[in-house]
Amino acid sequence: IATDGVVQSVRIKEMAVPAEFLYQATPKLDAQAYLMAHIMDWEELDLISGRLRIYFEDDFVGESTLALNLASDTLSLSLGPDPAIQVRRKLVSHDNKSNVITGKRELQREWEITVDNRKKQPIRIVIDDQLPLSNDEDVEVKADNLGGGKLDKDTGRIEWDFKVNPSERENIRFKYSVQAPKEVPIHLDS
């Protein structure tokens, strides 16, 4: 190590660690897909908590903090966004109806999420979205069509886990409705 007073980075140890790679995206919040590495049996690697510099395929992708006290049986590391995976979310249809007899109105929304894989190999991607939540018993949120997604009824979270072949596009559509009395303000912006 040079003694010139300049901070130096030194590689202490290099290991090949088997990992499961998948992409994760939440297009409602961010249009980018992030490559994640999930490492099993990480306890055997003798790692310590601290600052982490992440390199993927010899390219620096960012810094993070390794907090092993928060890790479960699988250690998950983000390898950053991949511009070759394009994710878009757009409102396909919306309808607002009022029922004169019941005094309620119904708001319907249908969304489409598109995933383009511009890579030369298939990818596995997990997409997250969410249904609106209500803490008012007079407001009812109903999932009309989840497009194959799994719904957590407590949080409203919808998750899709699927593969996209090279140079292909996959579309997901989901639809929900909200019923509420006319005088209750409802805000469905995204």
User: Residue 190 has what pLDDT?
Assistant: 59
Confidence band, pLDDT 50/70/90 cuts, at residue 36: very high
Query: What pTM value is reported for the model?
Result: 0.82
Q: Which residues contact 122 (CB under 8 A, 6 or more apart)?
A: 163, 164, 165, 166
For the ranges 57-71, 118-132, 173-187, the lowest mean pLDDT is seen at: 57-71
Contact criterion met (CB below 8 Å) for 34 and 22: no
Nearest to 115 by CA among 27, 180, 22: 27
User: Residue 15 has what pLDDT?
Assistant: 76
Tokens of 56: 């993927």
